């Protein structure tokens, strides 16, 4: 009895398992309700961390009948997997040797102060992609971000992943409302960047952002910290993938972000020793 026999035996077992799994999947799908609302309830229960945040993402649940797409939330892993597609010219690198850490979905009263403290310890400046309604709820945190020398990025009013599919007027109103909330907190702080929730860029959302003087900002390093894989995994991935010009996607809100906070502490000694971490410029892309 040689390797060939063993290989065939393993092959048969794999096939049987695949068939069983396939059946279970089909059965599972058929049990899911078709109504988007209740369907999302099921999804949210299973993948709590994906939605944990979405503080007031109420519109989101009404507007995203497609659960698969909603699964990209918060910041678009499908887009990250195929960075050549659907970016509509949004920036994926800093365009310089400097590395930009970006923190999305906040500000958050539990995690943003911790992130700020660690960045301060390491003398690192970063960019915060803030959600309008969170800005409105915690203007003092936006003030703390700016006071520490970090820069701001508009991340829409309530993290509407579908925003790019809406009318240009709706998109414009959403982005302006967010900037108004930011400027109510920090009147003079420039908002030179816009990041589309879910990375779900469309031509209209890129156009409106640019029209309002904001450079569309994507990313090229994504440790999927929003899935809370643990500090070690987040830190390892960033350490491995980050290089000159990287834009690193992280989250300081939208769920349990302790892993991200702890990962920062682990990875900053290494990152700061070999790369220059800097906030994205306040005058946008140059
Ligand atoms: Zn986000």
66 is catalytic: no
CA 249/CA 238 separation, integer angstroms: 9
CA 166/CA 262 separation, integer angstroms: 37
218 is catalytic: no
pLDDT tens figures, 26-35: 444 433 333 3
Find the range with the poorest average confidence among 2-16, 23-37, 164-178, 263-277: 23-37
> Peptide bond preceding 78: is omega within 30 degrees of 0, i.e. cis?
no
Q: Mean pLDDT of all residues in the chain?
A: 80
**Cα 271 to averaged position of ligand 1 atoms, centre (Å):** 23
Share of the chain residues as helix, strand and coil, in percent rounded to the nearest 5: 50, 10, 35
Please say whether the beta carbons of 262 and 223 come within 8 A. no
pLDDT tens figures, 131-148: 999 999 999 999 999 999
Q: What percent of the chain has pLDDT over 90?
A: 69
CA 138/CA 143 separation, integer angstroms: 9
**Cα 27 to averaged position of ligand 1 atoms, centre (Å):** 32
The pLDDT, as a whole number, for residue 21 is 52
**Cα 123 to averaged position of ligand 1 atoms, centre (Å):** 25
State yes or no: pLDDT of 54 exceeds 70.
no
Q: Which of 75, 104, 105, 174 is catalytic?
A: 104
**What are the phi and psi torsion angles at 68 (to 5°)?**
-60, -40
Find the range with the poorest average confidence among 76-80, 132-136, 151-155, 271-275: 76-80
Predicted confidence band at 240 (pLDDT cuts at 50, 70, 90)?
A: very high
**Cα 195 to averaged position of ligand 1 atoms, centre (Å):** 8
**Cα 110 to averaged position of ligand 1 atoms, centre (Å):** 17
**What are the phi and psi torsion angles at 254 (to 5°)?**
90, 25
- In sequence order, the 6+-apart residues with CB closer than 8 A to the CB of 32 are 39, 42
The pLDDT, as a whole number, for residue 284 is 78
Which tops the pLDDT comparison, 158 or 9? 158
């Amino acid at each position: 009895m040689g390797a060939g026999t063993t290989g065939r035996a393993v092959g048969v077992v794999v096939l049987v398992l695949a068939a069983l799994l396939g059946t279970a999947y089909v059965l599972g799908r058929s049990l899911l309700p078709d109504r988007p609302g209740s369907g999302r309830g099921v999804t949210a229960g299973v993948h709590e961390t994906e939605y944990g945040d979405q503080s007031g993402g109420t519109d989101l649940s009404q507007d995203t009948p497609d659960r698969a797409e909603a699964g990209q939330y918060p910041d678009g892993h499908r887009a990250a997997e195929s960075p050549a597609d659907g970016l509509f010219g949004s920036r994926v690198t800093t365009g310089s040797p400097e590395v930009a850490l970006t923190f999305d979905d906040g500000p958050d009263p539990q995690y943003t102060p911790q992130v700020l403290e660690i960045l301060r310890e390491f003398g690192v400046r970063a960019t915060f992609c803030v959600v309008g309604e969170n800005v409105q709820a915690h203007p003092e945190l936006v003030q703390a971000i700016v006071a520490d020398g970090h820069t701001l990025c508009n991340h829409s009013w309530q993290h509407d992943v579908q925003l790019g599919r809406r009318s240009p007027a709706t998109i414009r109103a959403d982005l302006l409302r967010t900037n108004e909330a930011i400027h109510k907190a920090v009147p003079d702080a420039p908002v030179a960047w816009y990041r589309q929730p879910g990375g779900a860029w469309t031509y209209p959302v890129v156009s409106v952002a640019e029209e309002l003087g904001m450079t569309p900002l994507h990313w090229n390093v994504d440790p999927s910290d929003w899935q809370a894989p643990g500090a070690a995994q987040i830190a390892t991935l960033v350490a491995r993938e980050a290089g000159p010009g990287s834009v690193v996607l992280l989250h300081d809100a939208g769920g349990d972000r302790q892993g991200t906070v702890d990962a920062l502490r682990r990875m900053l000694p290494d990152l700061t020793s070999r790369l220059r971490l800097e906030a994205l410029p306040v005058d946008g892309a140059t």
